[in-house]
Chains A and B, each alone.
Chain A
Amino acid sequence: DQQVKQNSPSLSVQEGRISILNCDYTNSMFDYFLWYKKYPAEGPTFLISISSIKDKNEDGRFTVFLNKSAKHLSLHIVPSQPGDSAVYFCAASATYNQGGKLIFGQGTELSVKP
């Protein structure tokens, strides 16, 4: 039962353009969502998060959008830079029902070409 899904295994974008990474979830109890970035041979690093009481959170070039009715979130990176090339994971947790267990998607490999 894959509760958090990233249906695009890879995405290729030109430098300077927008990258849009998508994530869908099935558990309506999820109330906190996070995006992580992972380089090869390193642990994932936190990028940005959003609580279910919001529909948008922005931090520099990174913006996360949450559509609760569609159970969908997306990460926008603009402008994209070659250093953004990495695997991006979305994650979700349900504070009160599952006590903060973090469930991750399968990841999307982003390639930003110069």
Chain B
Amino acid sequence: GAGVSQSPSNKVTEKGKDVELRCDPISGHTALYWYRQSLGQGLEFLIYFQGNSAPDKSGLPSDRFSAERTGGSVSTLTIQRTQQEDSAVYLCASRRQGANTEAFFGQGTRLTVV
């Protein structure tokens, strides 16, 4: 597709289970970002991939959170041993080469931990 695709769109999981969220960026975009939006909050930066550089993981809230980007394309955000406070909308964005360009967002994955 032409846009950023995220799956699943909704995920309900039990506390303590692991979840994987997937992001397919726009083809050719070298930068990929993950953000989290909790209820009533802003966009919280989680992690940033740029080409072959080491990812910027400075926004990951705990060691239960990790992310990979395979082959410079698809990215997976993994949350281990989910907690209720992990409930949020997880948004992925991609951006083409060069920093002074806009980032394009997917529709997000709404994660609910029960």
Task: Give chain A's interface residues, CB within 8 Å of chain B.
Answer: 6, 31-32, 34, 36, 41-46, 49, 51, 89, 91, 93, 95, 98-107
Contact B43 A95 (CB under 8 A): no
Contact A101 B45 (CB under 8 A): yes
Chain B residues whose C-beta falls within 8 Å of the C-beta of A106 in the assembled complex: 41-42
B31 at the A/B interface (Cβ < 8 Å)? yes
Task: Give chain B's interface residues, CB within 8 Å of chain A.
Answer: 4, 31, 33, 35, 41-43, 45, 48, 50, 53, 56, 91, 93, 95, 99-100, 102-108
Task: Find A32's partner among B4, B99, B107 (CB 8 Å cutoff).
Answer: B99
Q: Knowing A89-B43, A102-B93, A104-B42 are in contact, say whether A44-B99 is a contact too (CB < 8 A).
A: no
| Chain B residue at minimal CB-CB distance from A89 | B43
Contact A43 B107 (CB under 8 A): yes
Chain A residues whose C-beta falls within 8 Å of the C-beta of B56 in the assembled complex: 98-99, 101
Contact A100 B105 (CB under 8 A): no
Contact B43 A100 (CB under 8 A): no
Task: Find A43's partner among B45, B48, B108 (CB 8 Å cutoff).
Answer: B108
Kindly name the residue among B53, B104, B105 whose own CB sees the greatest number of chain A CB atoms within 10 A: B105
A45 to B93, CA, bound (A): 10
Contact B41 A100 (CB under 8 A): no
Shortest distance between the CB of B24 and any CB in chain A (Å): 13
Kindly name the residue among B35, B99, B107 whose own CB sees the greatest number of chain A CB atoms within 10 A: B99
